Amino acid sequence: MSTIGNSQKGRKRRPRSHARPSAAAAALQGLRGARMTDVANLAKVSAMTVSRALRHPAIVDPETLKRIHGAIEATGYLPNRIAGSLASQRSNIVGLIVPSLRNSLFAETVKGVADTLGDAYDLLIADSGYVLDREEAAVAAFLSQRVCGIVLHNTKHTPRTRRMIQSAAIPCVETGNLVRCPIDMAASFSNHKAAYDMTAYLIGKGYKRIAFVSLPLDDNDRARERQSGYLGALKAHRRAIDRNIILESAPGLRGGAEALIELMKKRPRIDAVFLTGDVLATGALLEANRKGWRVPDDIAIAGSDDNELQEYVSPPLTSVRFPRYDIGCTAASMLLKRIDGVPSAERVVDLGFQIIPRAST
Protein backbone atom coordinates (compact mmCIF):
# COMPACT_ATOMS: atom_id res chain seq x y z
CA MET A 1 0.00 0.00 0.00
CA SER A 2 2.70 2.47 -0.70
CA THR A 3 1.63 5.95 -1.53
CA ILE A 4 4.61 6.54 -3.74
CA GLY A 5 2.63 5.89 -6.87
CA ASN A 6 1.33 3.16 -9.05
CA SER A 7 4.43 2.91 -11.17
CA GLN A 8 4.53 -0.69 -10.05
CA LYS A 9 2.19 -1.74 -12.78
CA GLY A 10 4.32 -0.30 -15.52
CA ARG A 11 7.71 -1.86 -15.19
CA LYS A 12 7.84 -5.41 -14.18
CA ARG A 13 9.29 -8.51 -15.77
CA ARG A 14 12.11 -8.45 -18.35
CA PRO A 15 13.98 -11.22 -16.62
CA ARG A 16 16.09 -12.14 -19.64
CA SER A 17 19.34 -10.32 -19.69
CA HIS A 18 19.03 -7.75 -22.50
CA ALA A 19 20.67 -5.29 -20.14
CA ARG A 20 19.12 -1.97 -21.05
CA PRO A 21 21.76 0.71 -20.61
CA SER A 22 20.81 1.91 -17.13
CA ALA A 23 17.19 1.76 -16.17
CA ALA A 24 17.87 4.75 -13.93
CA ALA A 25 18.87 6.97 -16.80
CA ALA A 26 15.91 5.72 -18.73
CA ALA A 27 13.58 6.69 -15.94
CA LEU A 28 15.25 10.06 -15.69
CA GLN A 29 14.79 10.95 -19.27
CA GLY A 30 11.49 9.17 -19.44
CA LEU A 31 12.46 8.17 -22.90
CA ARG A 32 14.58 5.16 -23.59
CA GLY A 33 12.64 2.25 -24.95
CA ALA A 34 9.12 2.89 -23.81
CA ARG A 35 6.79 0.10 -24.86
CA MET A 36 3.17 0.26 -25.75
CA THR A 37 2.35 -1.09 -22.32
CA ASP A 38 4.17 1.81 -20.71
CA VAL A 39 2.15 4.26 -22.72
CA ALA A 40 -1.02 2.38 -21.88
CA ASN A 41 -0.33 2.43 -18.16
CA LEU A 42 0.43 6.11 -18.20
CA ALA A 43 -2.75 6.84 -20.11
CA LYS A 44 -4.77 4.45 -17.92
CA VAL A 45 -5.92 2.32 -20.78
CA SER A 46 -5.00 -1.07 -22.17
CA ALA A 47 -2.30 -1.67 -24.72
CA MET A 48 -4.97 -2.56 -27.22
CA THR A 49 -6.46 0.88 -26.99
CA VAL A 50 -3.08 2.44 -27.59
CA SER A 51 -2.68 0.22 -30.61
CA ARG A 52 -6.04 1.39 -31.91
CA ALA A 53 -5.27 5.01 -31.19
CA LEU A 54 -2.30 4.68 -33.48
CA ARG A 55 -3.91 2.65 -36.22
CA HIS A 56 -7.59 3.57 -36.18
CA PRO A 57 -7.89 6.85 -34.28
CA ALA A 58 -11.43 7.31 -35.55
CA ILE A 59 -12.84 4.51 -33.43
CA VAL A 60 -11.26 5.73 -30.20
CA ASP A 61 -12.89 8.17 -27.85
CA PRO A 62 -11.43 11.65 -28.41
CA GLU A 63 -10.72 12.10 -24.70
CA THR A 64 -8.94 8.77 -24.52
CA LEU A 65 -7.04 9.66 -27.63
CA LYS A 66 -5.85 12.87 -26.05
CA ARG A 67 -4.58 11.06 -22.95
CA ILE A 68 -2.81 8.52 -25.11
CA HIS A 69 -1.09 11.13 -27.20
CA GLY A 70 -0.03 12.88 -24.03
CA ALA A 71 1.45 9.62 -22.77
CA ILE A 72 3.22 9.02 -26.07
CA GLU A 73 4.70 12.48 -25.90
CA ALA A 74 5.74 12.04 -22.29
CA THR A 75 7.40 8.69 -22.83
CA GLY A 76 8.92 9.46 -26.23
CA TYR A 77 7.34 6.24 -27.42
CA LEU A 78 8.26 5.03 -30.88
CA PRO A 79 6.16 2.08 -32.04
CA ASN A 80 8.12 -1.11 -32.50
CA ARG A 81 7.38 -2.16 -36.04
CA ILE A 82 9.29 -5.38 -35.64
CA ALA A 83 6.80 -6.54 -33.06
CA GLY A 84 3.95 -5.04 -35.03
CA SER A 85 4.95 -6.78 -38.20
CA LEU A 86 5.36 -10.11 -36.51
CA ALA A 87 1.96 -9.90 -34.89
CA SER A 88 0.13 -8.65 -37.93
CA GLN A 89 2.01 -10.79 -40.40
CA ARG A 90 2.61 -7.85 -42.66
CA SER A 91 5.50 -5.45 -43.04
CA ASN A 92 5.70 -1.96 -44.47
CA ILE A 93 9.06 -2.39 -46.15
CA VAL A 94 9.50 -2.50 -49.89
CA GLY A 95 12.68 -3.92 -51.39
CA LEU A 96 14.38 -2.51 -54.46
CA ILE A 97 17.31 -4.00 -56.36
CA VAL A 98 19.26 -2.06 -58.99
CA PRO A 99 22.27 -3.19 -61.00
CA SER A 100 24.32 -0.26 -59.75
CA LEU A 101 23.77 2.29 -57.06
CA ARG A 102 26.34 4.52 -58.69
CA ASN A 103 24.51 5.00 -61.93
CA SER A 104 22.32 8.06 -61.82
CA LEU A 105 19.94 6.48 -64.33
CA PHE A 106 18.71 4.17 -61.67
CA ALA A 107 18.57 7.00 -59.19
CA GLU A 108 15.60 8.39 -61.10
CA THR A 109 13.66 5.20 -60.69
CA VAL A 110 14.63 4.90 -57.06
CA LYS A 111 13.38 8.43 -56.48
CA GLY A 112 10.08 7.66 -58.21
CA VAL A 113 9.58 4.63 -56.02
CA ALA A 114 10.53 6.47 -52.84
CA ASP A 115 8.27 9.43 -53.61
CA THR A 116 5.31 7.24 -54.39
CA LEU A 117 5.71 5.02 -51.35
CA GLY A 118 5.48 8.09 -49.15
CA ASP A 119 5.76 7.94 -45.39
CA ALA A 120 3.82 4.76 -44.85
CA TYR A 121 6.45 2.49 -46.34
CA ASP A 122 10.19 2.18 -45.99
CA LEU A 123 12.59 1.32 -48.75
CA LEU A 124 15.27 -1.35 -48.60
CA ILE A 125 17.85 -1.06 -51.36
CA ALA A 126 20.45 -3.44 -52.72
CA ASP A 127 22.93 -3.40 -55.55
CA SER A 128 23.27 -6.49 -57.70
CA GLY A 129 26.38 -5.26 -59.49
CA TYR A 130 24.92 -6.61 -62.75
CA VAL A 131 25.40 -10.13 -61.37
CA LEU A 132 22.43 -12.49 -61.27
CA ASP A 133 23.69 -14.43 -58.28
CA ARG A 134 23.97 -11.27 -56.29
CA GLU A 135 20.45 -10.39 -57.23
CA GLU A 136 19.40 -13.79 -55.95
CA ALA A 137 21.19 -13.22 -52.66
CA ALA A 138 19.55 -9.82 -52.29
CA VAL A 139 16.12 -11.28 -52.96
CA ALA A 140 16.71 -13.95 -50.32
CA ALA A 141 17.76 -11.27 -47.85
CA PHE A 142 14.70 -9.19 -48.63
CA LEU A 143 12.35 -12.13 -48.28
CA SER A 144 13.94 -12.97 -44.94
CA GLN A 145 13.22 -9.41 -43.97
CA ARG A 146 9.65 -10.16 -45.07
CA VAL A 147 9.30 -7.18 -47.41
CA CYS A 148 5.76 -6.55 -48.57
CA GLY A 149 6.83 -6.05 -52.16
CA ILE A 150 9.83 -6.06 -54.48
CA VAL A 151 10.97 -3.90 -57.36
CA LEU A 152 13.63 -5.37 -59.64
CA HIS A 153 15.44 -3.53 -62.37
CA ASN A 154 16.70 -6.67 -63.96
CA THR A 155 14.33 -8.75 -66.00
CA LYS A 156 16.62 -11.73 -66.30
CA HIS A 157 16.92 -13.82 -63.16
CA THR A 158 18.17 -17.09 -61.82
CA PRO A 159 15.51 -19.79 -61.60
CA ARG A 160 15.77 -19.71 -57.83
CA THR A 161 15.13 -15.98 -57.77
CA ARG A 162 11.88 -16.46 -59.66
CA ARG A 163 10.89 -19.40 -57.52
CA MET A 164 11.54 -17.62 -54.25
CA ILE A 165 9.50 -14.60 -55.20
CA GLN A 166 6.65 -16.67 -56.50
CA SER A 167 6.61 -18.89 -53.44
CA ALA A 168 6.63 -15.90 -51.18
CA ALA A 169 3.63 -14.72 -53.15
CA ILE A 170 4.41 -11.05 -52.67
CA PRO A 171 3.90 -8.46 -55.39
CA CYS A 172 6.89 -7.79 -57.61
CA VAL A 173 7.44 -5.29 -60.40
CA GLU A 174 10.23 -5.51 -62.95
CA THR A 175 11.28 -2.20 -64.45
CA GLY A 176 14.30 -2.61 -66.68
CA ASN A 177 12.61 -3.86 -69.79
CA LEU A 178 9.13 -4.58 -71.00
CA VAL A 179 8.99 -8.32 -70.50
CA ARG A 180 6.36 -10.60 -71.92
CA CYS A 181 6.33 -12.96 -68.96
CA PRO A 182 7.13 -11.08 -65.80
CA ILE A 183 7.55 -12.87 -62.51
CA ASP A 184 4.50 -10.93 -61.49
CA MET A 185 4.21 -7.43 -62.98
CA ALA A 186 6.26 -5.05 -65.09
CA ALA A 187 6.42 -1.30 -65.66
CA SER A 188 8.88 -0.20 -68.28
CA PHE A 189 9.46 0.61 -71.91
CA SER A 190 10.66 -1.54 -74.77
CA ASN A 191 14.40 -1.32 -75.15
CA HIS A 192 14.08 -3.17 -78.42
CA LYS A 193 11.61 -0.71 -79.88
CA ALA A 194 13.55 2.29 -78.62
CA ALA A 195 16.70 1.15 -80.40
CA TYR A 196 14.70 0.16 -83.43
CA ASP A 197 13.05 3.56 -83.66
CA MET A 198 16.26 5.49 -83.18
CA THR A 199 17.98 3.46 -85.86
CA ALA A 200 15.03 3.96 -88.18
CA TYR A 201 15.17 7.68 -87.43
CA LEU A 202 18.84 7.80 -88.44
CA ILE A 203 18.11 5.86 -91.60
CA GLY A 204 15.31 8.31 -92.31
CA LYS A 205 17.73 11.20 -91.96
CA GLY A 206 19.73 9.67 -94.77
CA TYR A 207 22.65 8.13 -92.93
CA LYS A 208 24.09 5.19 -94.79
CA ARG A 209 26.50 3.44 -92.45
CA ILE A 210 25.30 3.52 -88.86
CA ALA A 211 27.48 2.08 -86.15
CA PHE A 212 26.11 0.79 -82.86
CA VAL A 213 27.73 0.87 -79.43
CA SER A 214 26.31 -0.51 -76.20
CA LEU A 215 27.49 -1.82 -72.86
CA PRO A 216 28.56 -5.47 -72.75
CA LEU A 217 25.61 -7.75 -73.48
CA ASP A 218 26.68 -10.29 -70.93
CA ASP A 219 23.98 -10.73 -68.26
CA ASN A 220 22.50 -7.44 -69.48
CA ASP A 221 19.15 -8.05 -71.04
CA ARG A 222 18.59 -4.34 -71.75
CA ALA A 223 21.73 -4.03 -73.86
CA ARG A 224 20.82 -7.23 -75.63
CA GLU A 225 17.37 -5.95 -76.49
CA ARG A 226 18.76 -2.73 -77.82
CA GLN A 227 21.23 -4.41 -80.07
CA SER A 228 18.48 -6.59 -81.44
CA GLY A 229 16.35 -3.48 -82.02
CA TYR A 230 19.18 -1.90 -83.99
CA LEU A 231 19.65 -5.06 -86.04
CA GLY A 232 15.93 -5.33 -86.61
CA ALA A 233 15.72 -1.83 -88.01
CA LEU A 234 18.63 -2.42 -90.35
CA LYS A 235 17.03 -5.59 -91.63
CA ALA A 236 13.63 -3.98 -92.03
CA HIS A 237 15.25 -1.30 -94.16
CA ARG A 238 17.34 -3.81 -96.06
CA ARG A 239 20.63 -2.45 -94.85
CA ALA A 240 23.72 -4.57 -94.67
CA ILE A 241 24.82 -5.58 -91.19
CA ASP A 242 28.50 -5.11 -90.50
CA ARG A 243 29.67 -6.76 -87.29
CA ASN A 244 32.77 -4.59 -87.36
CA ILE A 245 30.83 -1.49 -86.52
CA ILE A 246 28.87 -3.07 -83.67
CA LEU A 247 30.78 -2.56 -80.45
CA GLU A 248 30.49 -3.39 -76.79
CA SER A 249 32.09 -0.69 -74.74
CA ALA A 250 33.26 -0.09 -71.20
CA PRO A 251 31.02 2.35 -69.36
CA GLY A 252 31.80 5.98 -68.68
CA LEU A 253 32.69 8.97 -70.82
CA ARG A 254 36.00 7.34 -71.56
CA GLY A 255 34.25 4.23 -72.81
CA GLY A 256 32.24 6.28 -75.28
CA ALA A 257 35.27 8.28 -76.35
CA GLU A 258 37.32 5.18 -77.00
CA ALA A 259 34.53 3.52 -78.91
CA LEU A 260 34.30 6.51 -81.23
CA ILE A 261 38.04 6.59 -81.76
CA GLU A 262 38.06 2.91 -82.62
CA LEU A 263 35.21 3.31 -85.07
CA MET A 264 36.78 6.28 -86.80
CA LYS A 265 40.07 4.50 -87.07
CA LYS A 266 38.72 1.23 -88.35
CA ARG A 267 35.96 2.39 -90.61
CA PRO A 268 36.27 6.00 -91.55
CA ARG A 269 33.35 5.62 -93.88
CA ILE A 270 30.70 5.38 -91.18
CA ASP A 271 28.56 8.49 -91.12
CA ALA A 272 26.61 7.97 -87.89
CA VAL A 273 26.92 6.26 -84.50
CA PHE A 274 24.20 5.34 -82.08
CA LEU A 275 25.66 4.90 -78.64
CA THR A 276 23.24 3.57 -76.08
CA GLY A 277 23.78 3.06 -72.38
CA ASP A 278 25.40 4.97 -69.58
CA VAL A 279 27.05 8.22 -70.76
CA LEU A 280 28.63 6.70 -73.84
CA ALA A 281 27.14 9.16 -76.32
CA THR A 282 28.25 12.17 -74.33
CA GLY A 283 31.74 10.78 -74.07
CA ALA A 284 31.83 10.27 -77.82
CA LEU A 285 30.61 13.78 -78.52
CA LEU A 286 33.13 15.41 -76.22
CA GLU A 287 35.86 13.36 -77.88
CA ALA A 288 34.69 14.43 -81.33
CA ASN A 289 34.90 18.03 -80.16
CA ARG A 290 38.40 17.52 -78.90
CA LYS A 291 39.53 15.82 -82.08
CA GLY A 292 37.93 18.51 -84.20
CA TRP A 293 35.60 16.07 -85.93
CA ARG A 294 32.53 17.98 -86.96
CA VAL A 295 29.21 16.69 -85.63
CA PRO A 296 27.07 15.85 -87.52
CA ASP A 297 28.93 16.64 -90.74
CA ASP A 298 31.86 14.30 -90.26
CA ILE A 299 29.94 11.98 -88.01
CA ALA A 300 26.44 12.07 -86.56
CA ILE A 301 26.02 10.99 -82.95
CA ALA A 302 22.86 9.79 -81.24
CA GLY A 303 22.47 8.73 -77.65
CA SER A 304 19.93 7.36 -75.24
CA ASP A 305 18.75 8.07 -71.74
CA ASP A 306 18.35 11.74 -72.41
CA ASN A 307 19.36 14.08 -69.65
CA GLU A 308 20.20 17.70 -69.04
CA LEU A 309 23.79 17.17 -70.09
CA GLN A 310 22.94 15.81 -73.52
CA GLU A 311 20.84 18.90 -74.03
CA TYR A 312 23.65 21.22 -72.92
CA VAL A 313 26.64 19.95 -74.85
CA SER A 314 27.51 21.37 -78.27
CA PRO A 315 25.97 20.37 -80.49
CA PRO A 316 23.12 19.07 -78.33
CA LEU A 317 22.61 15.36 -78.70
CA THR A 318 19.80 13.59 -80.44
CA SER A 319 18.63 11.07 -77.90
CA VAL A 320 15.89 8.77 -76.63
CA ARG A 321 14.19 9.86 -73.46
CA PHE A 322 13.07 7.16 -71.05
CA PRO A 323 10.49 7.93 -68.37
CA ARG A 324 12.58 6.54 -65.57
CA TYR A 325 11.01 8.57 -62.80
CA ASP A 326 7.52 7.65 -63.95
CA ILE A 327 8.54 4.04 -64.11
CA GLY A 328 9.52 4.20 -60.46
CA CYS A 329 6.23 5.89 -59.57
CA THR A 330 4.21 3.39 -61.55
CA ALA A 331 6.07 0.42 -60.14
CA ALA A 332 5.46 1.59 -56.60
CA SER A 333 1.85 2.32 -57.21
CA MET A 334 1.26 -1.09 -58.78
CA LEU A 335 2.82 -2.58 -55.68
CA LEU A 336 0.67 -0.53 -53.35
CA LYS A 337 -2.50 -1.35 -55.21
CA ARG A 338 -1.82 -5.02 -54.86
CA ILE A 339 -0.95 -4.67 -51.23
CA ASP A 340 -4.22 -2.83 -50.68
CA GLY A 341 -6.03 -5.58 -52.50
CA VAL A 342 -7.17 -3.42 -55.40
CA PRO A 343 -8.04 -5.69 -58.31
CA SER A 344 -5.11 -5.15 -60.63
CA ALA A 345 -5.79 -3.84 -64.08
CA GLU A 346 -2.79 -4.79 -66.18
CA ARG A 347 0.27 -6.71 -65.13
CA VAL A 348 2.49 -5.12 -67.75
CA VAL A 349 2.51 -1.37 -68.21
CA ASP A 350 4.34 0.21 -71.15
CA LEU A 351 5.44 3.73 -70.30
CA GLY A 352 6.93 4.31 -73.72
CA PHE A 353 9.84 6.54 -74.69
CA GLN A 354 10.48 9.54 -76.85
CA ILE A 355 12.98 10.31 -79.59
CA ILE A 356 14.40 13.80 -79.11
CA PRO A 357 15.96 15.06 -82.35
CA ARG A 358 18.68 17.65 -81.86
CA ALA A 359 21.58 19.12 -83.77
CA SER A 360 23.97 16.18 -83.47
CA THR A 361 22.24 14.22 -86.24
Which one of DNA, a second copy, none is in contact with 304 (Cβ closer than 5 to 8 A by kind)?
none
Task: Write the binding mask 86 to 125 for a second copy: x where contact by CB under 8 A, - elsewhere.
Answer: x--x-x-x------xxxxx--xx-xx--xx---x--xxxx
DSSP label of 8: G
Out of 32, 205, 239, 337, which residue is the one contacting a second copy (CB under 8 A)? 32
Out of 1, 4, 16, 169, which residue is the one contacting DNA (CB under 7 A)? 16
Closest to 36 (Cα-Cα) out of 20, 62, 55: 55
206 and 297 in contact (C-beta within 8 Å)?
no
Confirm or reject binding of residue 78 to a second copy (CB under 8 A): yes
Confirm or reject binding of residue 352 to DNA (CB under 7 A): no
CB of 68 to DNA, least distance (A): 9
Which one of DNA, a second copy, none is in contact with 208 (Cβ closer than 5 to 8 A by kind)?
none
- The Cα 331–Cα 182 span in angstroms is 13
Burial of 228 (0-12, 13-18, 19+ CB in 10 A): middle
CB of 315 to a second copy, least distance (A): 10
Out of 10, 69, 127, 339, which residue is the one contacting a second copy (CB under 8 A)? 127
Where do the DSSP E strands lie in the chain?
93-98, 122-127, 149-152, 172-174, 185-188, 210-214, 246-248, 272-275, 300-302, 319-321, 348-350, 354-356
CB of 7 to DNA, least distance (A): 17
CB of 335 to DNA, least distance (A): 19
Task: Write the binding mask 18 to 57 for DNA: x where contact by CB under 7 A, - elsewhere.
Answer: x--------------x-xxx------xxxxxxxxx-xx--
Out of 2, 3, 17, 167, which residue is the one contacting DNA (CB under 7 A)? 17
- In the bound state with DNA, the residue whose beta carbon lies nearer, of 69 and 291, is 69
Angle at 242 between CA 239 and CA 248, to 5 degrees: 125
CB of 142 to DNA, least distance (A): 15
- The Cα 217–Cα 280 span in angstroms is 15
CB atoms within 10 A of CB 221: 16
Confirm or reject binding of residue 64 to DNA (CB under 7 A): yes
Residue type, 155: T
- In the bound state with DNA, the residue whose beta carbon lies nearer, of 45 and 210, is 45
Confirm or reject binding of residue 341 to a second copy (CB under 8 A): no
Give how many residues touch DNA by CB under 7 A: 36
Q: Is the peptide bond before 296 cis (omega within 30 degrees of 0)?
A: yes
Closest to 329 (Cα-Cα) out of 154, 118, 120, 115: 115
Out of 25, 27, 86, 342, which residue is the one contacting DNA (CB under 7 A)? 86
Number of H helices, E strands in the chain: 14, 12
| Residue ranges binding DNA (CB under 7 A) | 13-18, 33, 35-37, 44-52, 54-55, 59-61, 63-64, 77, 79-80, 83-84, 86-90
